[in-house]
């Protein structure tokens, strides 16, 4: 028999998992997501991507401000779920909620636990220079991503990948993994194993203060910093444009074999020196403007040495 599930998720990353669970015949009793927030020029309330998809599918959507209140627990229990599936929900589940479904609550996490527990595993894996990451299905407990692991899929990280690229590769991979995990749970064959206590790292939330580019680092570290923050919040530097320092986000770049004083523009095609090696910008975004390819940017803003970026 297909499982009766509660789905808990918020951003685009969670949508493929919801769709796959529905496609495989599981009954989604309710979808829990974060409340709509004002967005856009008109600041109209925008439902989360998961809420929009759930409503399209005709699934009841709940957006409680907290799960700690007694009435929230009572409502959660009324769904009579076999299990809950949690994908980037964005809210802590208290123990009473974790205990409510008959078979437990299962989280899809975008790292190879115990590496990169926490809020920003995709960004931190790229920024740290990792060559591999993945997705894991974990039975949740009260700790921060400390539960027993059921299944995993691995994925290589190349220097060309941005956080957006890795996000888009991991989302369908995770959806397939969760469907397989729920299938095994349905058959009573889902096996769990304890997480290792070795190699635990934490993926702290990305802060805007860490987005400024430091050219006094090796080129590959600078590239990984840029790609790990692309597209949001976007690593940035200041460059002299028309006699003024302008803030520009760098969203995609590539390693080159150039060299020079860190921060110096080395040619008229946006090659920038780092402490060791150099980078060429491929995609940029000036404040208040859209994302541009380097060639397009240079047509409107031709830059030539000697110029230093800060």
pLDDT tens per residue, range 237-292: 999 988 889 999 999 999 999 999 999 999 999 999 999 999 999 999 998 889 99
Q: How far is CA 175 from the centre of its chain?
A: 14
Distance between CA atoms of residues 188 and 182, nearest Å: 10
Query: Does residue 190 register a pLDDT over 80?
Result: yes
Please give the model's pTM, rounded to 2 decimal places.
Answer: 0.93
Ordered by where they begin, the domains of the chain are 4-202 (3.40.50.170), 208-300 (3.10.25.10)
Phi, psi of 11 (to 5 degrees): -90, -175
Please give the pLDDT value at position 39.
Answer: 76
Instruction: For residue 68, count other CB atoms closer than 10 A to its CB.
Output: 14
Query: Does residue 43 register a pLDDT over 80?
Result: no
At residue 178, the 3 state secondary structure works out as helix
Instruction: For residue 288, count other CB atoms closer than 10 A to its CB.
Output: 6
Q: Which residues pair with residue 138 across a beta bridge? A: 107, 149
- Scanning the structure block, which residue is given the tokens 């987005």? 211
- Can you point out the beta strands (E) in 33-130? 37-39, 44-46, 61-62, 83-87, 105-109, 117-118
| CB of 267 closer than 8 Å to CB of 298 | no
Can you read off the two tokens belonging to residue 74? 């009572």
| CB of 149 closer than 8 Å to CB of 136 | yes
Which range, 26-40, 68-82, 235-249, 294-308, has the best average confidence (pLDDT)?
68-82
Distance between CA atoms of residues 282 and 272, nearest Å: 12
Per-residue confidence band for 32, with pLDDT thresholds at 50, 70 and 90: very high
Distance between CA atoms of residues 210 and 224, nearest Å: 13
Per-residue pLDDT of 204-247, as tens digits, reads: 999 999 999 999 999 999 999 999 999 999 999 999 988 889 99
Per-residue pLDDT of 52-78, as tens digits, reads: 999 999 999 999 999 999 999 999 999
231: left (phi over 0), alpha (psi -120 to 50) or beta: alpha
Using DSSP bridges, classify how beta strands 235-241 and 244-256 pair: parallel, antiparallel or unpaired.
antiparallel
């Amino acid at each position: 028999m297909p499982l009766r599930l509660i789905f808990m998720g918020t951003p685009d990353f969670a949508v493929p998992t919801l769709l796959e669970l529905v496609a495989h015949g599981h009954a989604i009793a309710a979808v829990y997501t974060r409340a709509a927030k004002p967005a856009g020029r008109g600041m109209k309330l925008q439902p989360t991507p998961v809420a929009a998809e759930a409503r399209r599918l005709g699934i009841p959507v709940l957006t409680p401000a907290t799960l700690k209140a007694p009435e929230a627990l009572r409502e959660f229990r009324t769904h009579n779920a076999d299990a809950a599936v949690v994908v980037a929900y964005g809210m802590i589940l208290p123990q009473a909620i974790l205990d409510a479904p008959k078979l437990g609550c299962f989280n899809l996490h975008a790292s190879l636990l115990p590496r990169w527990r926490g809020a920003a595993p995709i960004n931190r894996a790229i920024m740290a220079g990792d060559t591999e990451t993945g997705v894991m299905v974990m039975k949740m407990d009260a700790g921060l991503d400390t539960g027993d692991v059921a299944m995993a899929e691995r994925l290589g990280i190349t220097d060309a990948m941005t956080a957006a690229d890795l996000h888009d590769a991991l989302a369908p991979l995770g959806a397939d993994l969760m469907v397989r995990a729920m299938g095994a749970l349905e058959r009573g064959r889902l096996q769990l194993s304890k997480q290792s206590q070795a190699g635990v790292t934490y993926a702290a939330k990305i802060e805007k203060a860490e987005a400024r580019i430091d050219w006094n680092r090796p080129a590959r570290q600078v590239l990984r910093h840029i790609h790990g923050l692309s597209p949001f919040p976007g690593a940035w530097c200041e460059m002299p444009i028309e006699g003024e320092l302008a803030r520009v986000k760098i969203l995609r770049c590539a390693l080159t074999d150039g060299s020079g004083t860190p921060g110096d523009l080395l040619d008229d095609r946006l090659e920038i020196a780092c402490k060791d090696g150099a980078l060429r910008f491929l995609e940029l975004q000036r404040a208040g403007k859209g994302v541009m390819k380097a060639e397009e940017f240079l047509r409107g803003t031709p830059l030539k040495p000697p110029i230093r970026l800060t």
